[in-house]
A and B are shown apart, each in its own frame.
Chain A
């Protein structure tokens, strides 16, 4: 597609359940980022992939959160044993490798609600 695609756009789950959020970046973009945006806050960095490997996962809040990008394109953010505090909009963004000029292309986000 032309832009970054994220699915689902909305996810409601119960506390303790497992959730997967998918991101399909812009074709040809080798860098992929996950951010989390809580209500009334700006996006917060979670993890960054360069190709298939996680180059920086320092923003993952704890070991319940995990992300993969097995073929260097689509990425999945996985959240185990969800908690109410995980409720937020999860944003995916991609960029060209080595560009480093701050231009990220964002998807519209996946809104996660944990009841």
Chain B
């Protein structure tokens, strides 16, 4: 079945450092790919998405590019802030018209001032 593998955390960075969180997937079809973020004390929320190969999703300075050849969707940010401290989840949806998502285990990011 479909699955998502993301780098294990926790990840601890200093403010203004470069961030990469790796995500790879296995899917039978051509899935849509997502990054969700969970800030402390809040519910999960969509950070960015890409629906086809070579698409780049971006939001709040974060970017991820849908790489079909490497089945990857790595999350990057050039300069992290303390407010980016959260748990980040990579996810996929293999069904058109559905939000039935398969999630990775999550990566906890802590950014220190």
Q: Which residue of A lies closest to B8 (CB)?
A: A40
Inter-chain CA distance A98–B43, complex, in Å, is: 23
How many residue pairs link A and B with beta carbons under 8 A? The number is 67
Number of B interface residues at 8 Å Cβ cutoff, please give it. 25
Q: Are B45 and A106 in contact (CB under 8 A)?
A: yes
Q: Which residue of B lies closest to A55 (CB)?
A: B98
Q: With A43-B103, A56-B100 known to touch, is A102 a contact of B43 (CB < 8 Å)? A: no
A100 within 8 A of B: yes
User: From residue 63 to 112 of chain A, which have CB atoms closer than 8 A to chain B?
Assistant: 91, 93, 95, 98-109
Q: Are B43 and A44 in contact (CB under 8 A)?
A: no
Taking chain A's interface residues, is the majority helix, strand, or loop, or is none over half, making it mixed? loop
Known: A48-B100, A102-B46, A105-B43. 19 other contacts (CB 8 A): A4-B43, A40-B105, A42-B4, A42-B89, A42-B103, A42-B104, A45-B101, A93-B99, A98-B97, A101-B51, A102-B32, A102-B49, A102-B99, A103-B46, A103-B99, A104-B44, A104-B99, A106-B43, A108-B41
